[in-house]
């Protein structure tokens, strides 16, 4: 499970501002943000399946993935973490990639996928749920959006809370610089849970309650589960991209920032 809030093409200094939490078992091997060997992908990496949940490329492409909360999943399904990688390695536009993916989207468990290209200023949202319905492809409009474990901008408690708090922070800074690292601390470490009456009631109620905060902490029979990294991606109009990550490493929170200039973006 993950949650992200982002502003797209709606700020004079930043065509993209994005904050994201990754929720996963703490004992699952993971690499923190960095350049992947042999390719031009920047992001964290799941060392079990080899994919990612948030990454970007030197050419100005960004991909974000979240799982869809559902009662049953298939152990034989393809790894959803491959989808951002396939897009970042592709030469297709976000829409072309999404349209091609429709043909095999049923081979994956429930997912939400954001595909952005800073060069063409296009962003596409794709989801393969609910089951039995046509695959959803939509262009993302300029403005603030939240993606958790239902459809884009679904009114879940944690999504609405994050969106409201993000809006409040942006108002403080107006058209000036946005301190993304500071926003991580203010917004993405939020442990307030939803009232049980407002849960989606898809899975077991106690599990949904544990997942209902922006920052998740839960003990399970398989080990500690919850938010193990928080990321902030900011892109300036001149093409300067900054990828900051606060991540858990053997029980210790560490930080890493990688900056680069998007190729050809002026």
Candidates 47, 35, 79, 64; CA nearest to 126 is 64
Q: Render pLDDT for 176-211 as a digit per residue (tens, 0 to 9).
A: 999 999 999 999 999 999 999 999 999 999 999 999
Whole-number mean pLDDT of the chain?
Answer: 96
pLDDT in the model for residue 264? 77
Enter the DSSP assignment of 259. E
**Long-range pairs, 214-220, Cβ under 8 A, ≥24:** 214/3, 214/21, 214/158, 214/161, 214/162, 214/187, 214/188, 214/189, 214/190, 215/21, 215/188, 215/189, 215/190, 215/191, 216/1, 216/21, 216/23, 217/191, 220/25
Q: Which CA distances in Å does 127 have to 67, 109, 135?
A: 10, 10, 6
Average pLDDT over residues 213-232: 97
- Whether the predicted pLDDT of 266 surpasses 70: no
pLDDT at 132: 87
Quote the DSSP letter at residue 206: H
Up-side HSE of residue 190: CA atoms within 13 Å toward CB? 26
Length of the chain measured in residues? 266
pLDDT band, very low/low/confident/very high, at 141 (cuts 50, 70, 90): very high
- Alpha-helical (H) ranges within 174-255 are 180-187, 205-210
Is 227 a residue whose pLDDT tops 70? yes
Dihedral, 247, 238, 86, 216 alpha carbons, nearest 10: 30
Position 98 in a domain:
yes
Kindly report, residue by residue over 183-192, the tens digit of the pLDDT. 999 999 999 9
Asked if the structure places residue 37 within a domain, the reply is yes
Structure token pair of residue 93: 């536009």
Instruction: Quote the pLDDT of residue 96.
Output: 98
87 CB-side CA count, 13 A: 35
Task: Tell whether the model's pLDDT for residue 16 goes beyond 90.
Answer: yes
pLDDT beyond 70 at 265: no
Q: Is residue 266 one of the residues assigned to a domain?
A: no
Q: Is the pLDDT assigned to residue 1 strictly greater than 90?
A: no
The confidence band for 98, taking pLDDT boundaries of 50, 70 and 90, is very high
The domain that holds 103 is classified in CATH as 3.60.60.10
The maximal CA–CA distance of the chain, rounded, in angstroms, is 51
State yes or no: pLDDT of 230 exceeds 80.
yes
Burial 3-39 (b: 16+ CB within 10 A, else e): bbbbbbbebeebbbbbbbbbbbeeeeebebbeebeee
Does residue 85 lie in a domain region?
yes
Mean pLDDT throughout 137-153? Answer: 98
220-229: average pLDDT: 97
Express as a percent the part of the chain with pLDDT over 90.
Answer: 96
The number of domains in the chain is 1
């Amino acid at each position: 499970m993950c949650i992200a809030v982002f502003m797209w093409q709606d700020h004079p200094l930043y065509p993209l501002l994005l904050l994201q939490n990754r929720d996963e078992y703490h004992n699952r091997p993971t690499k923190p943000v960095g350049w992947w060997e042999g390719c031009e992908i920047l992001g964290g990496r799941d060392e079990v399946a080899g994919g990612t949940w948030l990454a970007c490329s030197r050419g100005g492409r960004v991909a974000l993935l979240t799982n869809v909360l559902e009662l049953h999943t298939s152990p034989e399904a393809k790894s959803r973490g491959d989808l951002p990688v396939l897009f970042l390695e592709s030469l297709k536009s976000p829409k072309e990639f999404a349209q091609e993916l429709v043909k095999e989207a049923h081979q994956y468990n429930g997912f939400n996928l954001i595909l952005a290209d800073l060069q063409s200023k296009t962003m596409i949202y794709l989801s393969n749920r609910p089951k039995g319905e046509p695959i959803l492809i939509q262009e993302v409009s300029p403005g603030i959006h939240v993606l958790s474990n239902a459809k884009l901008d679904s009114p879940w408690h944690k999504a609405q809370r994050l969106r409201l708090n993000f809006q409040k922070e942006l108002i403080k800074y107006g058209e000036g610089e946005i301190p993304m690292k500071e926003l991580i601390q203010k917004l993405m470490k939020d442990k307030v849970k939803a009232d049980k009456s407002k849960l989606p009631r898809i899975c077991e109620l106690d599990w949904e309650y544990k997942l209902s905060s922006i920052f998740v902490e839960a003990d399970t029979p398989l080990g500690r589960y919850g938010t193990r990294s928080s990321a902030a991606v900011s892109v300036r109009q001149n093409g300067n991209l900054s990828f900051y990550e606060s991540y858990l490493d053997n029980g210790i929170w560490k930080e890493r920032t990688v900056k680069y200039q998007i190729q050809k973006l002026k």
